[in-house]
Amino acid sequence: MQTLITNYSRKQVKIYLEDGLISRLTAFLNPNLRYFIITDERVASLYLDTVINQLPNFDLYLLPSGESSKNLEEVNRIINYMLLADIQKNDYLLALGGGVIGDVTAFVAAIYKRGINYLSVPTTLISQVDSCLGGKCGVDFSVGTYLYKNQIGTIYHPEMILVDPQVLNTLPRSEFTSGLSEVIKYGICFSPSLLEKITQPELLSEVIYACLSIKAGITERDEFDQGERMTLNYGHTIGHALESYSRFTLSHGQAVAIGMYYETKQPDLRTLLANLYQKIGINMDFSLPMAEIVDFIKKDKKTNQALITVPVLTKLGKVSIKTINLDDFCRGIK
């Protein structure tokens, strides 16, 4: 078993990673505690029995699968249900699912009775390599016809993260590929050797652990997103705009992959990305009006009129935060 301990200002987060861990949760859970499981319909159909068979005392809330569940209305319904189920301050939430379940559960945990404990059992590649750690959580928010990503939220850490790479065997190929784009982000920005390992399935656990280790270091040094942590958003400025503008017909991973490509200005690094995408099957085809995407980016939370503060790839494996002219940032977007 691989273990990673991350020390934040107010909490220590323990991460355990091992194949088959989902069948051995009793080693990590307290039989005297009550767990409130939040999961989605697809994950429940695959893994809920395995989890609840190990829990003597649990309640359950099921969300529809996918990004459409990441909103305040759903948070409202969950809290309503928790109050009716009499969930107490010393009970635990258990997030069983991908990034959507993780983000929603952590947000509910942060605000319910001013904060209760939660555990995370991430079940998608995106959630295992990235979203389960660092505590960022929240929901999307609609204003008129625009749906803004992650506009409501906070930073709130779990007590423990239990990662079982074997559950990725049931992940549809498109979802797995989507997760690989976050791995590419870690590779291109921080650790180029990861890019060679991506196509080797036998190295999956090693790749997940490497990504989590990178994220642990960055989020420990900059827990509250004041500087270095913003480097983790590489590709996400354009990516989030594409995702929101498409009303989530583009997956998070595909949007980030396209975002990384256009945020990368060096021709050789763009070629590197394009070749990798082709090798692992990330689709670069999309038909969105880029002029409107650029307009959308101007409304994004990271912009300040003519200037934008973004992570900039200075060379392979090196990214830094810069405030640049928005027109330069958008240069080369087709």
Ligand X SMILES: NC(=O)c1ccc[n+]([C@@H]2O[C@H](COP(=O)([O-])OP(=O)(O)OC[C@H]3O[C@@H](n4cnc5c(N)ncnc54)[C@H](O)[C@@H]3O)[C@@H](O)[C@H]2O)c1
CB of 136 to ligand X, least distance (A): 4
Helix (DSSP H) and strand (DSSP E) numbers for the chain:
13, 12
Which of residues 87 and 110 has its CB atom nearest to ligand X in the complex? 110
Q: Minimal CA–CA distance to 139: which of 72, 232, 43, 200?
A: 72
Tokens of 21: 């861990």
List the alpha helices (DSSP H) in the chain.
41-43, 49-52, 72-84, 99-111, 125-126, 173-189, 193-197, 204-221, 236-245, 252-263, 267-280, 290-299, 326-330
Which of residues 123 and 264 has its CB atom nearest to ligand X in the complex? 123
Tokens of 152: 């409501």
Which of residues 41 and 206 has its CB atom nearest to ligand X in the complex? 41
Q: Which residues bind ligand X (CB under 6 A)?
A: 40, 42-43, 46, 65-67, 70, 97-101, 103, 123-124, 126-127, 130-131, 134, 136-137, 150, 167, 170-171, 175, 178, 252
Q: Minimal CA–CA distance to 188: which of 275, 124, 251, 255?
A: 275
CB of 218 to ligand X, least distance (A): 11
Which of residues 33 and 321 has its CB atom nearest to ligand X in the complex? 321
Which of residues 131 and 213 has its CB atom nearest to ligand X in the complex? 131
227 in Cβ contact with 184 (< 8 Å): no
Q: How does DSSP classify residue 272?
A: H
CB of 100 to ligand X, least distance (A): 3
CB of 268 to ligand X, least distance (A): 27
CB of 29 to ligand X, least distance (A): 19
CB of 302 to ligand X, least distance (A): 15
Which of residues 130 and 223 has its CB atom nearest to ligand X in the complex? 130
DSSP string covering 284-308: ------HHHHHHHHHHSTTEETTEE
CB of 15 to ligand X, least distance (A): 14
Which of residues 40 and 263 has its CB atom nearest to ligand X in the complex? 40
C-alpha to C-alpha distance for 15 and 215, rounded to whole angstroms: 12
DSSP string covering 169-191: GGS-HHHHHHHHHHHHHHHHHT-
CB of 24 to ligand X, least distance (A): 17
Which of residues 6 and 131 has its CB atom nearest to ligand X in the complex? 131
Partners of 155 in the β-ladder: 136
Tokens of 136: 């960022």
